[in-house]
Amino acid sequence: MARILTTPIQKRFADIDPFQHVNNVSQQTYFDVGKVDYYHQILGEEVLLGRLRIITASTATSYCGQIRFGDPVRVTTTCEKIGTKSITLLQQLLVGDEVRSESRSVMVAFDFEAQQSFPVPDAWRERLLRD
Amino acid sequence: MARILTTPIQKRFADIDPFQHVNNVSQQTYFDVGKVDYYHQILGEEVLLGRLRIITASTATSYCGQIRFGDPVRVTTTCEKIGTKSITLLQQLLVGDEVRSESRSVMVAFDFEAQQSFPVPDAWRERLLRD
Amino acid sequence: MARILTTPIQKRFADIDPFQHVNNVSQQTYFDVGKVDYYHQILGEEVLLGRLRIITASTATSYCGQIRFGDPVRVTTTCEKIGTKSITLLQQLLVGDEVRSESRSVMVAFDFEAQQSFPVPDAWRERLLRD
Amino acid sequence: MARILTTPIQKRFADIDPFQHVNNVSQQTYFDVGKVDYYHQILGEEVLLGRLRIITASTATSYCGQIRFGDPVRVTTTCEKIGTKSITLLQQLLVGDEVRSESRSVMVAFDFEAQQSFPVPDAWRERLLRD
């Protein structure tokens, strides 16, 4: 069972749109904050900056409820699936116990010098599955 | 057969991330530019500001190729499906003939005063299907 | 002597530009985070949402050094001057003891219903000068 | 007399804040769009990407009026002053004939390899002063 990492979000005034709630696009930046924290704490920061990086192949997000400026919001990030060449991350934006949006991201291991994908390294697997 | 609307995108320097390409989140703002243009030209701008609005229930995006700062990029928007209470928009970010990313958005008709969804109005249907 | 409020900043990956540092525009959002925290903790949140609000008349920012993604950055906010109809806030972005950028904002008390500026209320003055 | 370059701005929905106008920070991105266009058309794009680049030392912006989502807005950019090691750009955001905000930016010529400023090259001077 993979670990769930929780990251509190610091909202910015410009995240709020004319409907007085956090814009959908700003919610995507919240998921990004969760991912970067996940790389830092669990997967290893070299996946952001090294030769062998992780890139986003696809994302799918469901918006279930609004997030207001005053709502304390946090993002949870966990690894849902490890495939041969990809990792699926599951993330939620939560206010209290309510899920306000949920996003799945398929991340691909990518060699920036060779400009092609490569199998998920064993070292990544171990860190993803560690308790 | 629904119309395809093409909107050229004006990039901003802050759209570019440390990998020297347009950040995924910024690509979401490009899809947003396409949607707003689509409401303006085809669906009617009241869906953004009226009592009966359109809201995003979910989005799913595939990133197929990178967009560099110098690439002239445009977004296409079309209606793929009209359901009872929802509309599915299909959008692509294109550089020349290449699709760099593709996104499907399920949009729901929402009554802001009653705070509940409602069936897609016939007036919207007609405009979506007009040649 | 007015209080100095310190707010730690949560950076976002999209804040970083192709030069591998925090974009100038993103630094402006960091100053905004400091201002909102200042209103919340010191001036009273009604200045953001009430009939009598505070609006930005002008800002002047000096960029003294770069902020990298790994730098722990915080913003300080203090009231430098209270005029008849305006308040000057002084803010700094700091990494350790180094000032990386500094910004002065002239804020004006504004009546949104009458659509005109008004003298800084005594209640605001007291809170700004409280230890 | 230096040339004035005019660049129409493509607004984005997320530029609009809860006050139903273009957020101050988003206005800074509009000034950025003007600057990049100015480098492209007048100063030479190598100032963004070459070894000898242009960086922002300071900006000062006055906000004179609101910009609504429906307002067609354009940014003008011109060189106000060329110093020994710096260039001052003057920019305005205009809706019709009205100036909604105005910004001065002191730009410094910077050698990224040596990590120090250098005198404004004659080639830059000529291009800035060309009719």
Q: What is the pLDDT of residues A63-75, one digit of tens each?
A: 999 999 999 999 9
| C23-33 residue pLDDT tens | 999 999 999 99
State the pLDDT at residue C8.
Answer: 98
pLDDT above 70: percentage of residues in chain A: 98
Distance CA A110, CA A94 (A): 31
State the pLDDT at residue C72.
Answer: 97
CB pairs under 8 A between A and C: 27
Burial of D16 (0-12, 13-18, 19+ CB in 10 A): buried
State the pLDDT at residue D67.
Answer: 96
The chains found to touch A (3+ Cβ pairs under 8 angstroms) are B, C, D
Six token digits for residue B92? 């692509």
Q: Which amino acid is at B25?
A: V
Average pLDDT over residues C103-128: 91
Q: How confident is the model at residue D2 (pLDDT cuts 50, 70, 90)?
A: confident
**Kind and range of the H or E element at C62?**
strand C52-63
State the pLDDT at residue B58.
Answer: 97
State the pLDDT at residue D93.
Answer: 98
The count of structural domains within chain B is 1
* Subunit contact B28:A24, Cβ cutoff 8 A: yes
Distance CA B111, CA B118 (A): 7
Q: Is the pLDDT of residue C37 over 90?
A: yes
State the pLDDT at residue B52.
Answer: 83
Q: Name the nearest CA neighbour of C24 among D52, D57, B69, D79.
A: D57
- Residues belonging to chain D with any Cβ–Cβ distance to chain C shorter than 8 Å: 24-25, 28-29, 32, 55-63
DSSP state of C9: -
Rounded to 10 deg, the angle between the D24-38 and C24-38 helix axes is: 170
State the pLDDT at residue A113.
Answer: 85
Neighbouring C-beta atoms of residue B53, cutoff 10 Å: 17
CB distance C119 to C126 below 8 Å: no
* Subunit contact A18:D18, Cβ cutoff 8 A: yes
State the pLDDT at residue B48.
Answer: 81
State the pLDDT at residue B92.
Answer: 98
Tell me the pLDDT of chain B (131 aa) as tens digits.
589 999 999 999 999 998 889 999 999 999 999 999 999 999 988 888 778 889 999 999 999 999 999 999 999 999 999 999 999 999 999 999 999 999 999 999 988 888 889 999 999 999 998 86
Which residue of D9, D13, D35 is in closest CB contact with B36? D13
- Residues belonging to chain D with any Cβ–Cβ distance to chain A shorter than 8 Å: 13-14, 16-18, 20, 23, 25-26, 69
Q: How confident is the model at residue D1 (pLDDT cuts 50, 70, 90)?
A: low
State the pLDDT at residue D45.
Answer: 81
- Chain C hits for D60, CB-CB cut-off 8 Å, are 58-61
C-alpha angle B81-B87-B89 in degrees, rounded to nearest 5: 70
Q: Is the pLDDT of residue A131 over 80?
A: no
Find the domain containing C80 and state its range: 4-129
State the pLDDT at residue D33.
Answer: 97
Q: Is the pLDDT of residue C102 over 70?
A: yes
Which residue of B29, B60, B63 is in closest CB contact with A25? B29
Q: Is the pLDDT of residue D13 over 90?
A: yes
Residue A28 in 3-state DSSP?
Answer: helix
Distance CA D56, CA B102 (A): 35
More confident residue, B2 or D97: D97
- Chain D hits for C59, CB-CB cut-off 8 Å, are 24, 59-61
Q: Tell me phi and psi for residue D34, to 5 degrees.
A: -65, -45
The Cα-based distances of D76 to A57, D7, D38, D60 in angstroms read: 39, 6, 9, 16
- Chain A hits for D13, CB-CB cut-off 8 Å, are 17, 23
Half-sphere exposure of B35 (CA within 13 A, CB side): 26
pLDDT above 90: percentage of residues in chain D: 76
Q: How confident is the model at residue A119 (pLDDT cuts 50, 70, 90)?
A: very high
State the pLDDT at residue C76.
Answer: 98
State the pLDDT at residue C1.
Answer: 59
Q: How confident is the model at residue A50 (pLDDT cuts 50, 70, 90)?
A: confident
CATH of the domain at D20: 3.10.129.10
CB distance B28 to A30 below 8 Å: no
DSSP state of C16: B
The Cα-based distances of D30 to B73, C108, D15, D47, D76 in angstroms read: 18, 23, 10, 19, 10
Helix ranges (H only) for chain A are 24-38, 46-49, 122-129
Which residue of D14, D35, D36 is in closest CB contact with B29? D14
DSSP state of A100: E
Widest Cα–Cα separation across chain B? 46
Average pLDDT over residues A80-99: 96
Residue D54 in 3-state DSSP?
Answer: strand
CB distance B79 to B125 below 8 Å: no
Distance CA C84, CA A117 (A): 63
Half-sphere exposure of B111 (CA within 13 A, CB side): 10
Q: Which amino acid is at C28?
A: Q
DSSP state of A70: T
Please name the residue of chain B whose CA is at the shortest distance from the CA of residue C25.
Answer: B14
Instruction: Identify from C11, C16, C24 which residue to disrupt to test chain B contact, counting B C-beta atoms within 10 A and taking the largest count.
Output: C16
The mean pLDDT of chain A is: 93
State the pLDDT at residue A8.
Answer: 98
pLDDT above 90: percentage of residues in chain A: 76
Q: Name the nearest CA neighbour of A89 among A39, A50, A51.
A: A39
Kindly provide the residue ranges of all beta strands, DSSP E only, lying in D9-128, ordered along the sequence: 52-63, 74-82, 86-95, 98-111, 116-117
State the pLDDT at residue A1.
Answer: 59
| D52-83 residue pLDDT tens | 889 999 999 999 999 999 999 999 999 999 99
Neighbouring C-beta atoms of residue A42, cutoff 10 Å: 17
Q: Name the nearest CA neighbour of B78 among B113, B43, B45.
A: B43
Residue C20 in 3-state DSSP?
Answer: coil
